[in-house]
A and B are shown apart, each in its own frame.
Chain A
Amino acid sequence: MDTYVITVLSNIGMISFVALSAYILLLSGQISFGQQAYFGIGAYTAGIATVMWQWPIAGALVLGALAASVAAGLVGLATLRLSGIYFAMATLAFAEIMRIAAELFVYRREIGGVETGPDGIDGFRDIRYFFANDISPFQSCLIVYALLAAVLAALFIVERTRGGRLLRQVGEDPLLAEVQGIDVMRVRMAAALSAGAVAGLGGGLYAHLMTYVEPRSFDIMLGVHALAYGLIGGLGTALGPLLGVLIDIGLLESTRIFRGYRMIVFGGLVAVLLIVRPRGLLDEVAISRIRQALRRRRHAGG
C-alpha cells in the first residue's frame, strides 16, 4: 500500500482515540477542552518506558494509559463538581499546565551509548521501538486499528449495558439522575478515568508511530478538534466521533482540493452543522430511528 495512504490511515486511527476520549466525557455531559493532556501523558510515559527502561511495547502502552487515567482521576477530584464552562476552562488550564510542564521536562540518560530522553521544548525524539523491532508502517497501522477496534468494542458493550444508560442519564440531566438514585459524581469519575485511559493509549501509539512527541503535539488545537469530531459526527453512537475524524482528516486534510483553505471550510462546516444538527450527524434521534428500522426489517424478514 502507498506510504501516504498508510500515514493518513494511521493518523485517522490515532486521532480517533482522542476523539473517543472527548466523546465519553460529552456523553457524561461534560465539555473538556483538555483531553489532549492525557494524550500527552500517555505519549511521554509510553515513550519513556520503551526507550529509557526498555519495556516491551504492550507494557509501555498499558502504562501510558494507566498514567493518563490516574492523572484524569486526580484532575477529576478537583473539577468534576464544576459544570459547563467552568469545567471546560479548568480542563483547558490543566492541559496547558501539562504542555508547559513538558516544555520544562528534561530527563536524559545514556542508553546504548547514545544520550536520549525528553529534552524540554525540543520534545522527546528517537522513540524507535517499531523501527528497532522491524515493525513496518503497515503493521503498526494494523496495531492502531486493532486497539481502536478493541476500544470501540468495549464502548459498544458499555452502551448496551447499564453503564451506558447511566452515562447518558447523567449527561442529559444530572439532577434528574441524582433524584432517581444515581450517584452522579461516581458516574462522572468513571467517565473521566476511562476517557483518560483511552486518550493515553492513543498518545502511546502516537509516540511510537511518529518516533517522537513534543509539547506542541498536544496543544489546545488537538483538544478542541477532538471535541468537535464528536459534535460533528454525532453523539448517538461511538461511531459518531470516528465519522467526524474521517470527515476532517480523511476528506479535508488529505485530499488536496482544500489546500490552504481547510480551516475555512472545516470551520464553516462545523458552525453550520451545529445549527442544523446540534448533536451531530449520528445523533440519538438518528440512531434510534435506525435501530427501529432495523428491528422492523428483522421482524418482517421473519
Chain B
Amino acid sequence: MNWELMIKWTPRLLEGAWLTLELVGIAVLAGLILAIPLGVMRSSRHAWVRALPYGYIFFFRGTPLLVQLFLVYYGMAQFEAIRHSALWPVLRDPYWCAVITMTLHTAAYIAEILRGAIQAIPPGEIEAARALGMSRWQALLHIILPRASRIGLPAYSNEVILMLKASALASTITLLELTGMSRTIIARTYQPVEIFLMAGVFYLLASYALVRLFRLLEQRLRVEQCQGR
C-alpha cells in the first residue's frame, strides 16, 4: 500500500465524489417526478393508458445504462438535424447528457416501484375515499400517492443506492466523477489498486450515509408513531 500516493490524490478524488453526488441527486429527484405520472398510468384500468409507460419501462429496463448513455451522447450527435436543433446546447454537454440519461433510466425503475406500491394499497381504502365523496383526483392526491410513497420508500432507497453505483458509468462520456477521476489519476500513476480501493471506500461511505438517511425518513413517515397526537 502506497499511503503517500493515496493522501496526495485525496482532494482530487473528493472533487470527483462531489460530482457523483450531484449527478445522482438530480437524477433520482427528477426521475421521481417523471415516474409519478408513469407509475399512475401504469396502474390504470385501461389497457391503452398502460401501453405507453409499459413500452417506456420495457426499453429502459431492458437495455444496459451504458448503451443508453452512448446512444444519447455519441448516437444523437450522428444526426445533423439534432446538431442544429435548439436542443443541442443541452445535448452537447456531457454533464446534461449524463443527467438526462440517468433520469430517464431511473424513472423507469421508480415507476415500477410506484406501480407495485399502488397495487399494494388495499382497494377498500380507495373505495372508502370515493365513498366519502372525493373525486378521482382528490383520491389520487390525498390517499393513493401518500399511501404509495410510504409503501414504496424502502424500494426507492434501494434504487437511489443502485443509481449511486450506476453513476460510475458517466466516466465513459468524459465526466470526471469519482470513477472517471480515479481512472484519470491511474493514467498518470499506474497504481490501480490503491486508487480504486480509495474510490470504493468513498462509494461505501456514501451508500452507508444514504441508507441511514432513508431509515430516518422512514421513521418520520411511519404513521403509527403519530398516533399519540
A binds B: no
